[in-house]
Amino acid sequence: MLYAMVCGFLPFEDPKTSNLYKKILAGDYKLPKFLSQDCAHFISKILNTDPEKRYGIEEIRGHPWFK
């Protein structure tokens, strides 16, 4: 939802459902150039497909963009 709110469109889109699922599972999305560096970093950490590297609640609350 954060991605959609700051970018104005969804991170994963494809008319073919199977391709959409592949993009979601692969984390295949683009960050618009108009985002601040802090916002882009924040979104990339939240959408990370690796659960070990993905931000949890504590990291989210501590990120400069969130504050």
C-alpha to C-alpha distance for 28 and 45, rounded to whole angstroms: 13
For residue 54, the one-letter residue type is R
Q: Is residue 54 part of a domain?
A: yes
Q: Is residue 2 part of a domain?
A: no
Q: Is residue 9 part of a domain?
A: no
Q: Is residue 67 part of a domain?
A: yes
Q: Is residue 25 part of a domain?
A: no
User: 8-56, pLDDT tens digit by residue?
Assistant: 999 999 999 999 999 999 999 999 999 999 999 999 999 999 999 999 9
Q: Is residue 58 part of a domain?
A: yes
**What does the pLDDT read at residue 23?**
96
Q: Is residue 3 part of a domain?
A: no
Q: Are 39 and 29 in contact (CB under 8 A)?
A: no
Confidence of residue 5 (pLDDT cuts 50, 70, 90): very high
Q: Looking at the 3D structure of the chain, how many domains does it have?
A: 1
Give the domain range for residue 37.
Answer: 31-67
